Amino acid sequence: MSATVVVLLVLAGLSESAGRVLPLVARRPKLSPRLVAGLMVTGTVVEGTVIALWPLAAWTVADLVQPVVAPDAASPPGTTGMAWTPALVAPLLLAAVLAFPLLGPFLHLLLVAGVAAGLAGPLAAASGLGWWTAAGCIAVAAVGLAATVEVVRRLIARIIAGAREPEAIV
């Protein structure tokens, strides 16, 4: 992964994180700056990692689907998966910037779908699957990653809420 791709992934992660943390700060203005900074850094790492894992997860889904869809098709020799390129991740950075709730969730979703469509071509070429099948693999990977992150977020929120309840009683 090139340095340009890493920088773009970090910026996309930071923007996605800001889109989640800033509304919380707006609702609770008395949050400590240290907590807000911690949430931003943690969110940046998590969101950036999820974005970075998207092509790998799509490649894994394609490997699972390939024997079912095209039993005779095999990945071309020497292919080891997919990776982000600056051209593929730059629109995702724009989508991350538009993740701010007030700037348009529908436009954000539309841009993420466009990035997914852009990933479908390289995945189809690398795996030997058709474009629509590759797009389906990308969608399944995206939904799987998003669901995993959401489950972890809710679990952490419950743990934190459970830890704070005894303090409120005392």
pLDDT in tens, 20-50: 788 788 888 888 889 888 888 988 898 888 8
CA angle at 60 for the pair 82 and 147, rounded to the nearest 5°: 105
Instruction: Give how far the C-alpha of residue 166 lies from the chain's centroid of Cα atoms, to the nearest Å.
Output: 35
Q: Residue 108: what residue type?
A: H
For residues 51 and 11, what is the distance between their CA atoms, to the nearest angstrom?
11
**pLDDT digit string, tens, across residues 123-136:** 888 888 889 999 99
**Residue 78 backbone class (left: φ over 0; alpha: ψ -120 to 50; beta: rest):** left
The residue ranking higher by pLDDT, 163 or 124, is 124
